[in-house]
Structure 1
Amino acid sequence: MIGIVVSRADSASVHIGEHLRDLVEWEEVTDDTRPDGAGGGRYYRRAGFELREFDDLHIYLDDPAEAFSETPDFVAVVSRHSGETGPLLTAHFTGNFGPADYGGEPGRFARACPNAQRAVVSALRDHAPDGYEVGIEATHHGPTEMDVPSMFVELGSGEAEWKDSEGARAVAAAVLDIDGVDPDSDRQLVGFGGGHYAPRFERILRETDWSVGHIAADWQLKAMGDPDENRDVLRRAFDASAADVALVDGDRENLADVLDDEGYRVVSETWVRETAGVPLERVHDLESTLVRIEDGLRFGSDIDAADYDVISLPDPLLAEAQGIDIDAALDAVAETTVAYQTVESGTRARGRAAVAGDSYDELVARLCEILRAKYDSVERDDGRVVASMTAFDPEAAKRRGVPEGPAFGKLSAGQEIEVDDEVISPAEVSKERIVDFSV
C-alpha cells in the first residue's frame, strides 16, 4: 500500500489531494484514534492507496507513516515546489547532509524509495501539461525520521502553478500510476555533486535502468564539510538509499577516496550506462576476469550466455577490419562476444574477449567479410587469414618514367595515363599484395 500525505498548510498539496480524490473512487473512512490534524478523522482508502491529511507543514512532520491503518510500502508526500524554475513537476528525497534549517535532524535522512521515484518521474513526464518541465532535486529539508521509505512529489514553482488544475492533476495522476511499484530495485546509487536540480542524475533515471537515492548537491557537500570528518553522515546516506554504489559529479578526489575507503564502489557515468541491462553479478565477474569498465570493458550481445571462455582477439585482423569499416567491425565484435576489451575511450576493440560456444569463428568470418570490401581475395585456412589484392606499385611506375603527382593518382584509381606518347595501363605498374593474419 502507498501512503499519500496531504498537508493542509500547503495549498498545492491540498490542490493535488483534491485531484487525487477526483480522478478515482475512494472509500471514505473515519479514524477516531488520532486527532483530525494528525492524519486522523476522515481519510480516504482504495486498493493500493491510503490518503491522510495533516494540519502541519509536511517538512516538519515527525513520522506521518505511523498514522496509516497499515504500514505503507512507501509514503508519497504531495507538495508545492518553490523556486525560480518556472512550471516544474519534480520529486526528491528528504534529509540533511549538513544543518537542519528546514525540518528534520542534521546529518540524517529519511529512507528513500529510489525505484518508486524513478517510476513517478516517468509518470510525471507522461502527464506533464504543455509548458511544464520534469525533473528531480537533490536531497533537502525534513522529515528525516520516517519508519518507511518516502519521497516528495511536487508541483512548482510558484503561486500560479500551485493553483493550476492541470499541473495538480498531472501530479495526482502520476502518483496513482505507481500503484504496485516496489520502493527499491537491485540497481540503486547515491549521487554527489552538481546543481540542486541534478541534471546528471535525472539523465541516469531517464536513460538507464538505474535508480538514484539520496543526492548531495554542491551546496550540501559544502554544508556537510570535510568528508573524512563526516563519514557517519555518508554512511547514513547510503543506508537510507539501500545502495553501495556512488556516482560523483565533478573532481572530488577526497570524497571519492573516503567513499572507497568506506567500501562503496565509486563509478563513472560510463559505468552506469554500460551496466544497464547487464546482470550485476556478471558485471563483477567480467571486470575481475578482463578489465574494469573504466579501463575499456564493454558488453556484447551474448552477455546472458551461461558459460564463456576468455580468448585473445585477432588484433591485427581486427585492426585491418576497423580501418576499412569501423562501425561494421565493432558490430561484429559486439554481436559475437559476451564482453570485450576496448581502447581509445571505447571506440576500438583490442585485447581479450569473453566468448560463448563457436562465436569466435563467427567473429573471424565477419571480419573476413569486411576485408573483402578492400581485398580481391580473402581466404581462411588452418589458423590463418590470407588476404590478397592487386595494387598500384609506385616503384614500378617510377621505372616506367611516370612522374609523381596526379599521374600516380590516376594509375592508383585504375585509369590509364600517357607518358611521352606511351600509354601506360594500371596493370603494367601494379603488383600483388598479400597480407597474412594469424587467427
Structure 2
Amino acid sequence: MQSGTCRPWRRGRGLAGGVLRAVLAAAVAAPGFAADPGLRGPGGRQFAPEVADAPARLAFRVAKVVVMDDSDQVINDAVVLVREGKIEAVGAAANVKIPDGYRVLEFREHWLVPGLVDCHNHTAGSLADLNDAVYLTNPGLDTRPTIEPDSERIKLARAGGVTTVMLIPGSATNLSGFGTVSKTGGRTPEDVILRTPGSLKIAQAGNPERYFVGNGRMFMNWNTRQTLLKARAYHERWAAYERGELKQKPEFNPFFAGFRGLFRREYPTTVHTQIYQVVMTTVDMLANKLGLWTVLDHSEFDGWKTAPLVLASDVWTIQGPRAFHFDRMAARMIGNCSGWWKNGVRARLGVNTDAPVIPEEELTYQAAMGCWYGWLPYPALRGVTHVPAQALGLYERLGSIEAGKDADFGVWTGNPLDPRSACLMTVISGRIEYDGREGPRRF
C-alpha cells in the first residue's frame, strides 16, 4: 500500500454524530448546495470515488489479462471490451478493435484479473443478525433480509477487488439458515443479490458445541441428520404430488419449503467443518449418504488428512481462515492449503476469509499466506476466482474473463498475490464501483 494511507472514514456515532448528520442533512437540502461526490480524509484530501458509473461501453487497455479460463490463458498487451454489464470481447490489442463510442481506460502497466469470489462471508449483511441461536437446527432462517449493499465493510471489500461473496449465518448452531450470494456493487438488495437461497449453512462441531448447556458430536450429528431427513421427506412428498403420483396435496411447511432446491441440487450446503474426524463425517453424511452438493468451509487443522475421501467424492474444499497449524504428529508447522494440495486435492481447492474474522478486502492475503506455507501462486489465484465460482455453481457468469460473462474484474498494479500490489479499479456488472486513481486508496 502507498505511504500515507488514511484510515477509512467512519460516520459519527452517538449524540454528537446524530447532531452532525442533522446539520449535514440540512445543508444538503439548502438551495444551491452541491453534494461532494467523495469522502474526505485528513487535510481535505478526497478518498477514491465510490459512486458507480452507470453501465456503459468501456474499453480497457492493459498490460496483462489473467483470463482464468479452462485453458489457463494469459494475454499480454490486451484489450477487454465491456458492454451493458457483460464482457463483450477479450484478446490481444492487435486483434481486438475498439469500436467508436467506447470510453477507453488506459492501464498499460497493470494486470486485469477476474473479480475475487469468497464462499464464506458474514459482513455483506448486518452483523447483529449473525447468530439467531433459537434451536440447535434452524431451517426457517435466511440471510436475505439482512443484506446491507453499501456498508463501509462492503466498500472496503470492493477496494480489495472482491466482487462476489456468499453471505451466510454464523456457526452458533448446527443448521443456522440459508445463505445469499451477493455482489459487492450496488445500492439496493435487488442490485446485489445474485442467488437466493445461495446455500444452506451447516456447522459440525466446534462452535455449536457451546449451544445451551453443551452438546457432543454424537447428538449434533444425529440431530442434523434427522432435520435433513425430514426436509428430504417433505421434498419427496411434494415431488410425488407434482408428478401426479400423490392425489392429496401435501401441507405447506415454511420450515422445509426452502430445502426443496437443496435436494434438487440447485444450490450447495456450505459446511463449517474442521479437523480430521469432523471433515470425515461431513463427507460421509452430507455428500455420500444424503447426496448433497457440499462445500467444505474451513477444512483446517488436520482436515487435509481426509484428502482420499474428498477425492473420492464431488465435494469442494474452500480453506480458511486459518492458514497453518502445528501438527503434533509431524512435530512441525504445516500449511493447510499445502496439505490439501500435496495430497491431491487441486482442481477443487480455494480459500476464504470468514470475514470479519479476516477482513474481506484481505482475501488475496489469504491466498498469499497459502503460498508462503507451500501452495503455488497460480493455483492460489484460481482459488480466489475460478474455483469458488465453480464451487457455488456460478462459473457460467463469474470467475474468468470471457465474452458473455458478467463484467466483474479488478485492475491491479501487479500480481494480486503480491502484498505490494493494490487493486486500482473494481468493475462490477459493468459499472466502475471503485476507482483508486484519485485520492488516498481505501485499501
TM class by smaller structure: under 0.3
State the TM-score, normalized to the length of structure 2: 0.23
State the TM-score, normalized to the length of structure 1: 0.24
Structure that is richer in helix per residue: 1
- Larger CA Rg, structure 1 vs 2: 1
Structure with higher RCO (Cα < 8 A, 6+ apart): 2
